[in-house]
Structure formats: C-alpha cells, structure tokens
Chain A
Amino acid sequence: MDALLSIRDLEKRIDEFHLGPLDLTIEPGTITALIGNNGSGKSTLLKMIMNLVQPGMGNIKVNNILVHSDNENWKPYVAYQPQTIIGWDPFTGEMLKDLIAPLYPNWDESLFLRMVELFEIPLNKKFSKLSQGVQQKLNLTLTLPRNAPLLILDEPTSFMDIPSKKLLIDLLVDWMEPGDRSIIIASHQIDDIKKLSDYLFVLHNGEVLGHFEKEALMENYARYWLSDSVSEESIPGVVSREEHVLISNNPKETESYFEQMNTKWTNRSSLEMEDIITLLLTKNKGQ
C-alpha cells in the first residue's frame, strides 16, 4: 500500500529556530507518536503537514499529492486537531457539527453520537462556555468521525480527566480497526504513547533524533546492576552509568563486553518507556 504521508528533506527556519532536515513516511495502519521537548518543532511539523506553515525546503505529500502546491485535493484525506482552537468560540457543538460534517465524505454520524454520549458533551452550549477539558473532548468528537485516512492529533489529552483519556484510547484503537488509517499524535502524555503508538518519531530542538519502532526500542534498552564497580573506560552501548547501575541501548554488545571482561551483573531489567524517552531527550541536551 502507498504511504499516506511522505516527507522528504523538510526544513524550516523561524527566527532562531531551525527544524530539520527531516524525512518521515507514514504507512497505513500505523500510529506514530511525535515526541520531543517543548519547542522541539512538533507543532510546527504538524502545521506544515496541514499547509498552515510553508516549509523552507523539501516537500510533503499526502496520499501522493504535494501539500504545498495548487492541488488541494489532499485536504479531505487529513483530519487535524490543533493544540489551540481558534474561531470556535461563538458556536455551539451542534453548529460546529453542521459546519464540519458535510466537508468530509466519510463522516461517521453514529461515531459522533457515541462520542457525544461517552464524553457527556452538551452540544447546545457555546464553545467558549465549555471548560478546557470539555472543549478538548468536543474537538476530538468533531475530528475522529471525519474518518479521514490520516488523523493528526496535537496534544489531544492535555486537559482531559483520567477516565476520558482511557475512553479516548479505546476509541482510537477501535478507529484503527479497518487497517487503512493512520494516526500521528504529538503528546507529552506517556500513557498515550505507551498504549497507542507503533512508532516514535523523536525531535530535539528541531533535530531528528530518530524514528523508532516502539517494541524494538523497548528491547534495545536494558538496565544492569553490577556486583562490582567498573572502570571509567567506555563500555559499548552504555548511555548512562551511576555507580553500579548501567543503562545500555545495545544490550548484546554490552553483555559481550561484560563477558570478555568477566564482569558480573546481579540483575538486568528492561526500561520503562518514560525512562527511554528521557534518556533520548536528555542525552542531546548539550548538543
């Protein structure tokens, strides 16, 4: 199947900030978490995919159509939930649905009604009168049923309560069922990343740190507790060391080194996703 999204050699400079160069391909049936520190360029990247920001260099294709061209036929293929919602304030949920639904040929009315019920959204209240959490729920309720093949979510759960977050994760998993859709989700919420994503695309201050398959990334990291302290020399794969505890991002090489050096470890464990992300992002802090 063709890629839903293909980004090549993308670069953007905004004042002192430089994003890229960046390549990314999103295949149907995958969920990619966009991860990075604050100001790493996640939202800028999403806005460039939506043609809200012009790239300095490179190109973006949605469903094989160049986004930054005169051909706008790519638009129904993408449903975008921005982090900051502008222009919705004077309208009620009903009005917004009336505006949005006809623009998407695959609008799923039953999913919309289900989400309204699950999230207990008052459709007759003005958007500006809703709490931030309910605004976010309404925004999602008006985004997911568009059934666009590519769903882009920018911090979708930052104001949501815990039960609603769980509901949303279940809804997104169900939504992915047909297998021909994809999600890109920018989030700082570790649960979203852990439970949803197949891939992690990691940015740090505009630079790409990597595009990882989540399971492979989890397997690539291991923590070792050593019986004796080790010399100061560098150990293959080790990315962090604190006295008797080492973390490696290449356990095979690290263990082979231990074997050669006859170093014993008392315990080995895998790392939590949160620790891996922290390591990825802090390792590059000084760069």
Chain B
Amino acid sequence: MNNWKIAYQINKWELKKSIFNIMLSYLVMLVFSLYLAREFPLYLESGLVFFDLVFLFMFGAAPLLPKPKAFEVQQIQSKLFVSPMVVLQKHLAIKNNVIIRSRLIMHTLYTFPMQLVALLILYSTTSLHNILSIGSFISFGLIWLSFSIYVGYMVPSLNIGVRMFWGNNTIFSVIFLLLIIILLFGLTLVHVVFDHGIVYWSILFARDYPLATGGISILLAFLGYHFWRNSMRKSLGRLMYG
C-alpha cells in the first residue's frame, strides 16, 4: 500500500470526528469570501488593509480555526507543543513519512476546497473577471494556492510538534497576537509605500505576466512543500514524544 493510502486510512476516524469543525471552518471561510466579494470594488479603489489581512488569513492560516480539542496542538510536556494524534501515531508502526502525509491530508481537507470556492466567488461575483482572463485568473489562483503551501504548511508543521523555549500557553497566545500586530503593520506599510495592497499587486502580476507568475508560483509551491516536509521529518526525528 502506498504511503498516501495508509495516511488516509489512519486519518479515517479523525476525519469523521472532525466533520463538524471542518464544516464550521468552511462556513467561516464562506463568510470571509462573501466579505471579500463585497469589499472588492472599494479595495481596488482606495485599498483596505483589512481586506489583505482576511485574504492572507484564508490562504495562509485558515486551519488555525478551532479543531476538536482532542486534535488541537497542545502542550503535552513541559516545552513540547504537538497534536495528540501525532503522539498516538508515533507509538504505532507508522513510518514518519506517513505521519507527515496524514497531517497534510487533514490540512488540505480543512483548507483547499474553500480556498478554491473563495477564488471562484471572487472571480464570478466581482469585476475581477473583467480584469483577468481565464488564463490570468488561473495564474492568480496559483499565486494564492501556492502561498497556502509555502506559508500555510507551517500549520501541519506545528501539528508535528514544536519545542518552545517556554512552557506556557499564555505566552504562546501573546506571541501569536504580536505576530498579527507585526503583520498588520507590514500590510499597512505596503499600502503606504506602494499605494495598494498585496492582493492588488498579485492581480496585476497575474494579468501582466501570467506565465511567469504561474511558473514562479508552482516553483515556490514545490520548494515550500519540500521545505516543510523536511522540516517535519527533522522534527519527528528530533523531538521527544515521550
């Protein structure tokens, strides 16, 4: 049996137990998609930092939406934060590659369908279809779906486990909040310096250089996938899952 098939099989029950949360995550992302569609004209005209933030969240960090507590990354040792499912799998005759794939499957199920729907909603219900041809839209989609790999795979990597220098959930939350503030600051800076936000520029790149943009996105997705897979493999070999 190949590793993907085994990974799917060992995820079967986790998936069944997660259906409600996956649906909830789809619902939240649908609300975000509708917000993006509604605000799109204003975003093109005057730029909205919050629009960029929501877009980035949908493609980069959507799986951070609450999962069932039993599958959520949690502190299981003084400094180890990990998904309990990974610990369960580490105790069994499951190869590390299969564990990694099982996390990637769960991540994809939480994110990919709604990311695709969000792109289609944006294209079909806004003036985006007047700006981008089908080919350019595919290139635009590739930019963001690739982003969901080279940035978004940070989430399954967190599931595999991370050793913090501190052992406290509160500090973890504070750091997370700080990162959001820094991100907001960065997005605002892009608006100030370049007159428009990153989504706007990604539309222009996809329109003007569809082939190059698509190609670079596929390359980045490939590199991102291998980077995170190696990082997860290293974590599985290095961390103490006792």
Q: Do A and B belong to a common assembly?
A: yes
A72 touches B91 (CB 8 A): no
Cα(A25)–Cα(B95), bound, Å:
25
Q: Assess whether A86 is interfacial by the CB under 8 Å rule.
A: yes
Please determine whether B84 and A72 come into contact, CB atoms closer than 8 angstroms.
no
Q: Would you call A37 an interface residue if the criterion is a C-beta within 8 Å of the partner chain's C-beta atoms?
A: no
Q: Report B200-242 residues with CB < 8 Å from chain A CB.
A: 237-238, 240-242
Contacts of A80 in B (CB 8 A): 91
- The answer, yes or no, to whether B85 is at the interface (CB within 8 Å) is yes
Interfacial chain A residues near B240, Cβ < 8 Å: 47, 52-54
Task: Report the minimum CB–CB distance from B2 to chain A (whole Å).
Answer: 14
A102: chain B residues at CB < 8 Å are: 9
CB distance from B164 to the nearest CB of A (A): 16
Q: Which residues of B contact A82 (CB under 8 A)?
A: 91, 242
Interface size class of B (residues with CB under 8 A): 20 to 34
Asked if A179 is an interface residue, CB under 8 A from chain B, the answer is no
Contacts of B86 in A (CB 8 A): 87
Task: Tally A residues with Cβ within 8 Å of B.
Answer: 29
Over the window 43-62 of chain A, the binary record of Cβ atoms lying under 8 Å from chain B Cβ atoms (1 yes, 0 no) is 11001001111100000000
Question: Quick one: which of B85-126 are within 8 Å of A by CB?
Answer: 85-96
Interchain CB contact under 8 A, A99 and B13: yes
- Which A96-129 residues sit within 8 Å CB-CB of chain B? 98-100, 102-104
CA separation between A146 and B88, bound complex, in Å? 16
User: Would you call A76 an interface residue if the criterion is a C-beta within 8 Å of the partner chain's C-beta atoms?
Assistant: yes
For A82, the closest partner residue in chain B by CB is: B91
Known interface pairs A87-B84, A87-B88, A98-B12; A75-B95 also in contact (CB < 8 Å): yes
Point out the residues of chain A lying under 8 angstroms from B88, CB to CB.
Answer: 86-88
Q: Given that A89-B70, A89-B84 are known contacts, is A43 also in contact with B96, CB under 8 Å in the complex?
A: no
**CB pair B70 A52 closer than 8 Å:** no
Q: Does A159 contact B (CB under 8 A)?
A: no
Asked whether, in the complex, the Cβ of A76 is within 8 Å of the Cβ of B10, the reply is no
In the complex the two chains form, what is the Cα distance from A2 to B150 in whole Å? Answer: 46
Nearest 7 A-B pairs (CB), nearest first?
A: A87-B88, A87-B84, A90-B70, A75-B93, A47-B242, A86-B87, A52-B241
**Seed contacts A53-B241, A90-B68; 6 additional CB < 8 Å A-B pairs:** A43-B242, A50-B91, A52-B240, A87-B70, A100-B92, A104-B93
Which residue numbers of B lie inside 8 Å of A, CB to CB? 9-10, 12-13, 17, 68, 70-71, 76, 84-96, 237-238, 240-242
Interface residues of A (CB under 8 A from B): 43-44, 47, 50-54, 72, 75-76, 78, 80, 82, 86-91, 95, 98-100, 102-104, 146, 148
